[in-house]
Structure 1
Amino acid sequence: MMEVETARPYFFGDIGCWSERTEVHEAASEGHAAQLQQLIQSGASVNIVAVDSITPLHEACERGQTQCVRLLLDAGAQVDARNTDGSTPLCEACSVGSFDCVRMLLEHGAKVNPTLSSLTTSPLHEACMGGNADVVKIMIAKGASLEAYDLYYGTPLHVACANDHTACVKVLLNAGAKVNYARLHKTALHHAAKVKSVDMIDMLVEFGTNIYAKDKNDKKPIEYIEPGSPAALCLEFYDSKSQCERGFYTTVTSFKQ
């Protein structure tokens, strides 16, 4: 009688080894915690990598699978493993706005400000894209750089404005983000104007944004808004207010002289 060969445990795939996507990846991604635990107990490597150097921890974080993230970390998953784009599991968890996953990764020593490549945005950038203000708060509390730079957008504040995440903008500004930082002369206000957000415009003006700043196309923020729209009227109000204040200052100065 032919002997049936039993399935071999994953003992060969530590970080650096390549493999097809495994059952560990699948269980982690789909949130099948019981199956994942069984695979780990049978000897499956939690650090096996698939195409593009993606680990099971990357996949669990990308889907916000909190229980699977906990199992993987407790089993020794490398918390700062990088895929071929340079992204860490923390980047993935921040991107989907999973507060619990982010908290667990930080508790296991995940780097808040990992060294970035030209292809990678910081975890804080990803959190601002994801739009979860609580994730942005915990990242800042752990020391995330407010001035981390992304080649496409600029700073996390630019990203939050471009993605119309007002709550994240408020958190960043209260934490000390530079309101007039520019990338290719484009400020956060340019992004807020493009998404026509009156609330963000109000907030940025309150924190001292320059409403007259021009970008590389020699355009002010108001020039990106349809005339007569609420956002345009908002900026026109601040423009007229600024002109009145300048006129008053000039009058007072002349009187004193």
Structure 2
Amino acid sequence: MVNRCTLRGQTPVLLAASREHPSCVECLLERGADPNIHNKDRDTPLFKACEKANEQSVVLLLKFGASVNRSCSQGATVLHEAARHRQVKICKMLLDAGAKIGAKNIHGIQPLFRAAQSGNVDILNFLIRKGADINGPAADGATPLYEACKNGHVTTVEMLLSHKADANRSTKSGLLPLHVAVQKDRTCIVPMLLPVTSMSRVRQSGLSPLHIAAERNRDEIMELLIATGYEVNAELSEERSMLYEDRRSTALYFSVYNKNFEAAAMLLEAGANPNLDFFNPLLIAVRLGCVEVVRLLLNYGANVNAQMSTHPTSFPSAVLLCMQFLPMLKLLLDNGCDALSCFDCVYGNKPHPPIRPPPRRSDELRYNTAAPPQQCVQFCDAISNPYVSRWAGPILSLLLDYVGHVRLCSRLLEHLDSYSDWAPIKLKAIPPHPLMQLCRLQIRRLVGIQRLRLLDSLLLPGRLIRFLRYDVEDSLSDL
């Protein structure tokens, strides 16, 4: 009866080891119990004794011939269990009994890797002294250092680095220990990894730690990475960029997408170019209604007339994205957005073709190579969208302040005629225009879009500068 099993394959000695009854274990072994019969999960009595960290039971089982290199259903050996449960004395007993220090479970994990996962420095030191591979990777390429960084074991990371663990070994997905430390917000570990991480290896990965810091809003780490010299204009590899519907590529894009003003400002001050992404970050900020972020990007030279190649328009795409938000539209126009192109209609006074349905709001900033080529949308078509047409009068009135002599096409006139209150706006488009308005437009044209933000530095009366900047408190009549 001493080796009879339960329906789950459990022998009396296995049950005794599981319940931490070393006296029962000894009694059974002395009466012929087999220490190597496993249950349905392939767990042996020795495995259970190591799992419970019961030294007495381990000594007894080893004395009666328990195998130290049998593996459970997950491929783990008793040494894996002892390392996981931080038992240095048991690890020593197992190694003395012939346990393989480099045994791997089904995930390719060795006992030293398990010790790094649990953050046990004593076990690590012991196994390293016994010859364990300090850089032994798991099946996914993760090293013990990578795992310790992921789990935030500061002392373990420090100890591994002191034993020359390689910080430049990547996982099969290309991530380095620095990547995962930034991802998990390990602010105490990142400074330890920076001096030993190769920037060329980071570039080969196609993913800068700055991208991760920006995506996860790790502002403190971002500041440290910038100070260390990480390139603020580093772009995602094409393979990594394709993981995002909008094909984003820069850290600045991530920060703008997250509405993180502080991070975006940090990157721009460090020299980030706001015009590198497939979709300009300015369009994202406009789409999200983040006025302060839009103002910040414009101050650092973002292209106010950027286009969405997926939905081409004959006028700046930013105008299309903020027609229902007039303060945003005014901000764009103040900073050089091309208002004149909104009145450049190929049909003029002739009948217009039927209005094409506008793109879905969720598809406007989505990269889709499978979609058929889009025809160029004209402003008069865009403003005819039922969700926008009720704003047609105020929108046109605002745009007319930023142009000289223009001719309204038949569709725009139709919109203005639809509400009697908009009759003055129609008259606003008819020449002649005030000479001061025309002079203002000419001065702004000569200054150039990129220098409009420097108008305040001109040696001109403050009132005139406010006039040139379209500050609302100064009208034409006041001057």
TM-score interval for Structure 1 and Structure 2 normalised by the shorter chain: 0.7 to 0.9
**Residue type of the partner of 2:252?**
L
Cα drift, residue 144 of structure 1: 1.2
Is the CA contact (8 Å cut-off) linking 2:135 and 2:144 kept in structure 1? Answer: no
Taking a change above 3 Å as real, the CA distance of residues 140 and 77 of structure 1, as seen in their structure-2 partners, is same
**Residue type of the partner of 1:10?**
I
Tell me the equivalent position of 2:262. 134
Cα drift, residue 49 of structure 1: 0.4
Is the CA contact (8 Å cut-off) linking 2:207 and 2:237 kept in structure 1? Answer: no
Q: Secondary structure at the match of 2:431?
A: helix
Tell me the equivalent position of 1:49. 170
Tell me the equivalent position of 1:143. 271
Of 385, 391, 394, which residue of structure 2 is paired with 1:237?
A: 394
2:329 and 2:153 map into 1 onto residues whose CA distance is 44
Cα drift, residue 157 of structure 1: 1.2
Is the CA contact (8 Å cut-off) linking 1:79 and 1:108 kept in structure 2? Answer: no
Cα drift, residue 54 of structure 1: 0.9
Is the CA contact (8 Å cut-off) linking 2:136 and 2:144 kept in structure 1? Answer: no
Cα drift, residue 227 of structure 1: 4.2
Tell me the equivalent position of 1:2. 97
Aligned residues: 239
Moved over 6 A (4+): none
Cα drift, residue 53 of structure 1: 0.8
Cα deviation, 1:19-47, whole Å, max 9, x if unaligned, reads: 62233323323433333223323432222
Tell me the equivalent position of 2:432. 251
- Where do residues 85-234 of structure 1 align in structure 2 (5 Å cutoff)? 86-114=206-234, 117-119=237-239, 120=241, 121-150=249-278, 153=279, 155-184=280-309, 185=312, 187-193=317-323, 200-210=328-338, 212=342, 216=375, 218=377, 220=379, 222=383, 226-227=387-388, 233=391
Cα drift, residue 136 of structure 1: 1.2
Q: Secondary structure at the match of 1:39?
A: helix
2:321 and 2:185 map into 1 onto residues whose CA distance is 29
1:30 and 1:38 map into 2 onto residues whose CA distance is 15
Cα drift, residue 205 of structure 1: 3.4
TM value normalised by structure 2: 0.43
Gaps of 5+ in 2: 1-95, 102-126, 242-248, 345-373, 405-427, 436-479
1:177 and 1:225 map into 2 onto residues whose CA distance is 30
Cα drift, residue 148 of structure 1: 0.9
Cα deviation, 1:155-192, whole Å, max 9, x if unaligned, reads: 22123334444432221012221211213235233334
Cα drift, residue 90 of structure 1: 1.4
Point out the structure with max Rg over C-alpha.
2
**Residue type of the partner of 1:158?**
L
TM value normalised by structure 1: 0.74
Gaps of 5+ in 1: none
Tell me the equivalent position of 1:23. 144
Q: Considering Cα pairs closer than 8 Å and 6+ residues apart, tell me whether 1 or 2 has the greater RCO.
A: 1
Q: Secondary structure at the match of 2:253?
A: helix
Identity %: 20
Cα deviation, 1:220-250, whole Å, max 9, x if unaligned, reads: 464567248xxx64x6413124347763671
**Residue type of the partner of 1:48?**
R
**Residue type of the partner of 1:36?**
V
Cα deviation, 1:48-70, whole Å, max 9, x if unaligned, reads: 20022111111222333322221
1:142 and 1:43 map into 2 onto residues whose CA distance is 33
Taking a change above 3 Å as real, the CA distance of residues 117 and 48 of structure 1, as seen in their structure-2 partners, is closer
1:63 and 1:9 map into 2 onto residues whose CA distance is 25
1:238 and 1:10 map into 2 onto residues whose CA distance is 66
Taking a change above 3 Å as real, the CA distance of residues 55 and 206 of structure 1, as seen in their structure-2 partners, is same
